[in-house]
Amino acid sequence: MTKPPTPAAIPTAPVPVGARPTPVVELRDVTKSYAGGVHALRGVSLTVEAGELLAIVGPSGSGKSTMLHVIGTLDAPTAGTVRVAGYDVGRLSDAQLSALRSRHIGFVFQHFQLAAGRDAVDNVADGLLYGGVSRKERRARARAALERVRLGHRLDHRPAELSGGEKQRVAIARALAGEPDLLLADEPTGALDTASGEVVMELLHELNAAGTTVCVITHDNEIAGSLPRRVRFRDGEIVSDFPAQQASFPTRHQQASFPAQQASSQ
Amino acid sequence: MNLPDRGNLRDRRAASAGHLPRLRPARLSPGDILRLGAVGLRARRARVVLSALGIAIGIATMVTVVGLSQSSKSDLMARLDRLGTNLLTVEAGTDAQGNEVKLPKSAVAMVERIGPVRHATATANVDARIRRSDVVPEERSAGVTTQAARTDLLAALNARVAEGTWLNRANEHLPVTVLGSVAAQRLGVTEPGQKIMMDDEYVVVVGILRPVELVPTLDRVAMVGFPAAEKYFRFDGHPSMIFERSPDATVEDVRAVLARTVSPGAEGNAKVSRPSDALAAKAATDKGLTTLMLGLGAVALLVGGVGVANTMVISVLERRQEIGLRRAIGATRNAIRLQFLTESLLLSALGGATGAVLGAAATFGFALAQGWTAVVPPWSVAAGFTATLFIGVLAGLYPAVRASRLHPTVALNAT
């Protein structure tokens, strides 16, 4: 078997048969419908390989938030299969999904979601709370993660004493502390001014360069444009999957053939 | 990455080898659970204090009520111990026509002849009006009556003289009197040596008694010796009340024969009673009040529990985003439930501990004011605290279950 021509294939030497690394995210024919005939996702297929940095971009109501929830295993699809870090999400219990999130997925939210009364180290250490890590190690790793997002000088500051950009960096450190396979960032710059937003995006690039798989959900074309791969959503469907190195605009036909390629790769 | 995570590395290797390790949520350590429970409390101190206060009031009431009832009971027991419970009295009753029946003059001697009796003595009603002086008209009674008393009365009753002396072999023939504590107050006699009028006779007060706890009626009389009563006040010498003490084990036996002994053939006319029973009965009436107060405390506790439940429901509503975040970073439903249950438990435990301390302090304060030895039974504190924990679980269960059932995406999108 050869590597499937997925747009986000990591530019490395061909991997020997049978030792191909598992994609971090694998969605196949995923639909999500709500009562009353609302279809948030209509047969979406997507593969994210380890080490990718991609944007899921689309206007509000395009289904990208539902994508975030489905990829993040916070919500189950109505039909189709979702694999995260190799696990078939549909076959896991709620408790197992929690364990999956605690070990393999890191979330970054638009409004940071930091605990107001607790300092940066405590906020970041909380990200490891449900992973079975001792308190001492949680705090040590939290400090290291804060150093990584260049907030080593703000360890004992509370959210109220931090700027918006710094708060988002604390949130990124929290997502990062568990060394997740996938960092899911939901509008990470949405609540920030341009300068702070740039710093945060720079940081995400940096983390990706160091090996973290990063998926940014955004409505901002400019943000999306700065990322190597852009998956464009409209009305619950992927309308384009645009790798930076690929010059041509992918057609709907290519989209449709995507699941087949995935199937053949297994 | 500069932070190698062995767990994930292992996962990835296993994954690439074709089989994934089984996912199992990690268990929270007890310390982490406690810290989680405290997070919500630290963030909303005023509310915590107020809702813990409800519980505290309930527990404080219950601990105080139990403490005070125990303190007063132990005080009463000590008093009974001191006074003895082996005193029996025989009182002259009335016959079928309602006329007062007199006890025979030999009654004391007859009682003394009952085997186990150690002590027998008597008092008698004397028909002599008492006034402070001859200026006071005879019709105006001072509310003090005259009684003749044998000289061994004081020893039999374990009573004591506050001032002056008691009647003795010499002065029992003389026109002198010893006043009960209330009688002295009513007559305005503050020290021995003053005179009062009995009928038309001036008598000298030689002593004033301390309150007689076992026979409080003696507090309201002026006592003269038997011989003096006969000599000055036309007293016929028949006793009206016999006092008797025997060893504790024989009290019931003596009681059975006492009436028959003092008025043979007309035992129905003699009323036998045990003065210590009256004190014990007082303790029993206090019990009803204690139960009522305990009930009030329980209601306060219940209301406190409702307050905690209310606080918890609001806490869950306000913290939906936090719940969503925790679910996103890997908290299981169980972990969320445990967090809020712990919070509720801590909240009511805080109230319970405060209440127990307040209750104990109130007991000590009140007992001190009453001159009692404070008794706070450990079981009451333990029971109060257990009730608190029970209420904490009960009050926290519904909010905690609600929190754990929140769908992660709904929780995250909550405003």
Encode pLDDT of B169-179 as tens digits.
888 888 889 98
Confidence tier at A259 by pLDDT (50, 70, 90): very low
Rounded to whole angstroms, how far apart are CA atoms A182 and A163? 26
Tell me the nearest-neighbour CA distance from A73 into chain B, angstroms.
9
Q: Are residues B297 and B221 in the same domain?
A: no
Extract the runs of DSSP E, i.e. beta strands, from chain A. Answer: 25-34, 38-48, 53-57, 79-84, 87-88, 105-108, 182-186, 213-218, 229-234, 237-243
Tell me what percent of the residues of chain B surpass a pLDDT of 70. 94
Chain B residues closer than 8 Å to A85 by CB: 11-12, 15, 20
B226 and B359 in a common domain:
no
Residue B264, pLDDT above cutoff 70? yes
d(CA A137, CA A121): 12
Write down which residue in B249, B275, B301 finishes a domain.
Answer: B275
In a domain, B141, yes or no: yes
Q: Identify the band that residue A258 occupies on the pLDDT scale cut at 50, 70 and 90.
A: very low
* Out of A100, A104, A130, closest to residue B26 by CB: A130
Across B304-326, average pLDDT:
93
Q: What pLDDT, in 10s, does the model give residues A180-198?
A: 999 999 999 988 999 999 9
- Shortest distance between the Cα of A150 and any Cα of chain B, in A, equals 14
Interface probe, candidates B2, B8, B12, B23, chain A, greatest A C-beta count within 10 A? B23
Give the chain B residue whose CA is nearest to the CA of A101.
Answer: B330
CA distance A211 to chain B (A): 7
Task: Report the mean per-residue pLDDT for chain B.
Answer: 85
Q: Is B42–A69 a contact, with Cβ atoms under 8 angstroms apart? A: no
Let me know: does A149 contact A170? Beta carbons within 8 Å.
Answer: yes
Query: CB–CB of A105/A179 below 8 Å?
Result: no
B19 within a domain of the structure (yes/no): no
The answer to whether A96 and A89 are in contact (CB under 8 A) is: no
Q: Could you tell me the sign of the dihedral formed by the alpha carbons of B396, B399, B401, B407, in that order?
A: negative
The whole-angstrom separation of Cα B11 and Cα A17 is: 20
pLDDT at B271 over 70: yes
State whether B122 and B162 are in the same domain. Answer: yes
Distance from CA of B310 to the nearest CA of A (A): 23
Whether B28 sits inside 8 A of A145 (CB atoms) is no
Give the pLDDT of residue B29: 92
Residue type (1 letter), B347: L
Whole-angstrom distance between the N-terminal and C-terminal Cα of chain A?
Answer: 8
Residues B194 and B97 in one domain: yes
Residue A122 lies in a domain: yes
User: Between A74, A85, A109, which is nearest B408 by CB?
Assistant: A74
Q: Edge-to-edge strand order for the sheet containing A105-108? A: A105-108, A182-186, A213-218, A53-57, A229-234, A237-243
Q: 3-class DSSP state for residue A87?
A: strand
Does B249 contact A at CB distance below 8 Å?
A: no
**Cα-only R_g, chain A:** 18
Q: How much helix, strand and coil, in percent to the nearest 5, is found in chain B?
A: 60, 15, 30
**Which of A157 and B84 is assigned the larger pLDDT?**
A157
Using a CB-CB cut-off of 8 Å, the residues of chain B touching A102 are: 25-26, 329-331
Place of tokens 């036909």: A253
pLDDT of residue B317: 93
And the tokens for A167?
Answer: 């708060």
User: What whole-number distance in Å separates Cα of residue A118 and Cα of residue A132?
Assistant: 21
* Residues B262, B170 share a domain: yes
A residues 88-147 lying closer than 8 A (beta carbon) to B = 92, 94-96, 98-105, 107, 109, 113, 115-118, 126-127, 129-135, 141, 144-145
Q: A85 pLDDT band (50/70/90 cuts)?
A: very high
Determine, yes or no, domain membership for B70.
yes
Instruction: Give the bridge partners for B148, in sequence order.
Output: B124, B224
Of the listed ranges A6-10, A96-100, B109-113, B314-318, the least confidently predicted one is: A6-10
Q: At what angle do helices A135-148 and A164-176 cross, to 10 degrees?
A: 130
Give the distance, in angstroms, between the CA of residue B205 and the centroid of all CA atoms in the same chain. 38
The tens digit of pLDDT for each residue in A194-244 reads 999 999 999 999 999 989 999 999 999 999 999 999 999 999 999 999 874
Domain boundary among B220, B251, B275: B275
Does B102 share its domain with B238?
yes
pLDDT at A252 over 50: no
Has residue A133 been placed in a domain?
yes
Question: Among B180, B190, B173, which residue's Cα sits nearest to residue B159?
Answer: B180
Q: Is the CB of residue B325 less than 8 Å away from at least one CB of chain A? A: yes
For β-strands A229-234 and A53-57, DSSP reports them as parallel
Band (pLDDT 50/70/90 cuts) for residue B5 is very low
Query: Is A58 inside any structural domain?
Result: yes
Judge whether B8 lies within some domain. no
Amino acid at A243: P
Does residue A9 belong to any structural domain of this protein? no
Percent of chain A with pLDDT over 70: 84
> Which residues in chain A have Cβ-Cβ distances shorter than 8 Å to B4?
179
Please tell me the distance from the alpha carbon of residue A247 to that of residue B298, in angstroms, as a whole number. 77
Q: Which of B241, B275, B309 is the last residue of a domain?
A: B275
Residue A165 sits at the vertex; the CA angle it makes with B414 and A59, to the nearest 5 degrees, is 55
**Of residues A74, A181, A211, nearest to B328 (C-beta):** A74
The verdict on A85 touching B (C-beta cutoff 8 Å) is yes
Mind telling me how many Å the CA of A251 is from chain B's nearest CA?
32
Two structure tokens written together for A236: 């619950």
B336 and B397, same domain (yes or no): yes
Q: How far is B35 from A118, CA to CA, in rounded Å? A: 12
Residue A83 belongs to a domain: no
Residue in B with minimal Cα distance to A65: B409
pLDDT category of residue B120 using cuts at 50, 70 and 90: confident
What is the Cα gyration radius of chain B? 37
Question: What's the domain count of chain B?
Answer: 2
- CA separation for the pair B187, B183 (Å, rounded): 6
Which residue, B214, B205, B212, B270, is CA-closest to B238?
A: B270
H or E, element range at B392:
helix B378-405
Q: Is the pLDDT of residue A165 over 70?
A: yes
pLDDT of A265 higher than 60: no
B25 to A96: CB separation less than 8 angstroms, yes or no: yes
Query: Looking at the domain assignment, is residue A54 inside a domain?
Result: yes
The answer to whether the CB atoms of B12 and A141 lie below 8 A apart is no
d(CA A69, CA B54) in angstroms, rounded, equals: 42
Average pLDDT (A78-87) is 94
Residue of A nearest to B411 (CA): A74
Q: Are strands A25-34 and A38-48 parallel, antiparallel or unpaired?
A: antiparallel
Helix, strand, or coil here: B124? Answer: strand
Q: Report ipTM for this prediction.
A: 0.84
> Which among B395, B377, B399 is positioned nearest to B387, based on CA atoms?
B395
| Same domain as B309, residue B237 | no
Task: Using a CB–CB cutoff of 8 Å, tell me whether B318 touches chain A.
Answer: no
What is the phi/psi pair of residue A251, to 5°? -90, 170
| Between B273 and A54, the higher pLDDT residue | A54
Judge if B120 and B269 occupy the same domain: yes
Please spell the DSSP secondary structure of B82-113, one letter per residue. HH-S-EEEEEE-B-TTSPBPPPPTTHHHHHHT
| pLDDT for the residue numbered A143 | 95
Q: What is the tally of structural domains in chain A? A: 1
Given the structure tokens 């970073």, which residue do they identify? B329
* pLDDT attached to residue B193: 86
Residues of B in contact with A178 (CB under 8 A): 5, 329
CB of B32 closer than 8 Å to CB of B274: no
Q: In which band, very low, low, confident or very high, does the pLDDT at B112 lie, cut at 50, 70 and 90? A: confident
Structural domain boundaries enclosing B191: 86-275
pLDDT in tens, B180-218: 989 888 888 888 888 888 888 888 899 999 988 888 888
Contact B31 A135 (CB under 8 A): yes
Cα(B257)–Cα(B4) distance, rounded to whole angstroms?
97
Within a domain: B6: no
Both B398 and B292 in a single domain? yes
Stretch B347-353: mean pLDDT, rounded? Answer: 93
Task: Using the predicted structure, report yes or no on whether residue A253 has a pLDDT greater than 60.
Answer: no
Q: Does A158 touch chain B (CB under 8 A)?
A: no
Q: Return left, alpha or beta for A213; rule: phi > 0 is left, psi -120 to 50 is alpha, else beta.
A: beta
**pLDDT reading at A264 higher than 50:** no
Residue A89 backbone class (left: φ over 0; alpha: ψ -120 to 50; beta: rest): alpha
Q: What is the dihedral of CA B40, B42, B27, A81, to 10 degrees?
A: 40
d(CA A223, CA A217): 10
Assigned domain for B39 exists: yes
* Residue A190 C-alpha from the chain's centroid: 16
Q: Do residues B148 and B223 touch, judged by C-beta distance below 8 A? A: yes
Q: Which two tokens stand for residue A180?
A: 């997740």
Nearest CA in chain A to B26: A132
Of B23, B324, B329, the CB nearest to A130: B329
The whole-number pLDDT of residue A261 equals 41
Task: Please check whether residues B209 and B236 belong to one and the same domain.
Answer: yes
Note the pLDDT of residue B310: 93
- Three-class secondary structure of residue B278 per DSSP: helix
Angle CA A20–A176–A169, to nearest 5: 135
Residues B49 and B111 both lie in one domain:
no
pLDDT of residue B150 exceeding 80, the answer is yes
Quote the pLDDT of residue A19: 54
Cα–Cα distance measured from residue A70 to residue A45, given in angstroms and rounded to the nearest whole number: 12
- Which residue of chain A comes nearest to B6, CA vs CA? A179
The total number of residues shown for chain B amounts to 415
Assign residue A229 the CATH number of its domain: 3.40.50.300
- Residue B281 is predicted with a pLDDT of 77
Tell me the chain A residues in contact with residue B39 when contact means C-beta distances shorter than 8 Å. Answer: 115, 117-118
CA distance B23 to A7: 30
Site of tokens 């009682």: B111
Residue A107 sits in which domain range? 50-73+92-248
